[in-house]
Structures are given as structure tokens and as C-alpha cells.
Amino acid sequence: MDDLLQRLRRSGLKVTPRRKAIIELFLQRGGALTPSDVYDGLRSRMEKCGLPGVYRNLDTLESCGVLFRFVTFGGERRYALCSSGSESGHHHHIVCTSCGKVGDVTDCHYCDGMPVEGFRLVSHIVQLHGLCERCEEKENRLKPKIRNKS
């Protein structure tokens, strides 16, 4: 938590009660959340907060590297905590398609400015989807049961 608040301060941003509450919510849920998940989560714990305000705060937290944003296959916008932060260097994120668990991926072969297939790379967004250990285990456990039923 302190490390995450530190990232806010280092970017010259104030630690407001609302920003703190959003970070706490992400720590509690431990996965990726949609802006409306955050909205619902905040409503139950503190004073009313509009959805536009939630979007604004999420964008602020993204800009300082506390959160990162990604888009699901369904085109839904989600946010999750970045565990290592931008100061740990260039990295991307992998998201479990089943439970929303997030991991950092430091293995990236692109660097902006490099030539790629007759282009010069200006920016890149890499989004990785996977199945986390726990969900894969769960799936493997379910498989034989399904077979027994049929």
C-alpha cells in the first residue's frame, strides 16, 4: 500500500481519500476491475461518488503507474494494480481470462523507435491473456468429472 501511495506522490499527485479508497479496493479484490465495479465498491464504503469521477481517478492512477488499463475480448475497459510500477522498467501485463489475476511480463522484444518490418515503431501496446496456475488446476480437476457424467 505504502509503495503504491509513494508512486502517486512521486508523480506529484496528492493522496486523496478517494484515490486511497480506490487503491484499497483493488488490493482487496486482488484482480482486474471495471470502472463500474470500482463505482459500486466505493459506494458501499464511502460518500457518494459519481461515475465520471471514478473514471477520472482511474485515469490519474493509471498515469502514475499505480494501475494499468486493458481491454477484454468483449471490448470492456478494465483496470488492475501494477505490482512493480514504472520505475522497475519497461514491462507488460498478463491477465487471467478466468479470474482476472494479473502478472507482470518483463520479457518484451519491442522498444519504441526501433525498426519493425519497414516501419519505425512509435509506440506499442502488448496485451497478454492467459490462465493462471490456480485456474488451470481447477480446469484440470473439472475435466475428469465432466467425463464421468457423460
From CA 6, how far away is CA 8, in angstroms rounded?
A: 5
Does residue number 72 form part of the binding site for Zn ion (CB under 5 A)?
A: no
Using the rule CB under 5 A, is 110 a contact of Zn ion?
yes
Contacts of Zn ion in 14-53 (CB under 5 A): none
3-state DSSP assignment of residue 69: strand
Under rule CB under 5 A, residue 69 binds Zn ion: no
Structure-block grid coordinates of residue 61? 492512477
Residue pair 139/131 in contact (Cβ under 8 Å)? The answer is: yes
Decide whether 72 or 98 has the Cβ nearer to Zn ion: 98
**19-27, 34-42, 93-101, 112-120 -> range binding Zn ion (CB under 5 A):** 93-101
Span interacting with Zn ion, options 10-18, 22-30, 32-40, 132-140, rule CB under 5 A: 132-140
Query: In the complex with Zn ion, which residue's Cβ is closer, 76 or 133?
Result: 133
CB of 2 to Zn ion, least distance (A): 17
- CB-based contacts of 89, cutoff 8 Å, min separation 6: 106
Closest CA to 82 of 104, 99, 55, 98: 104
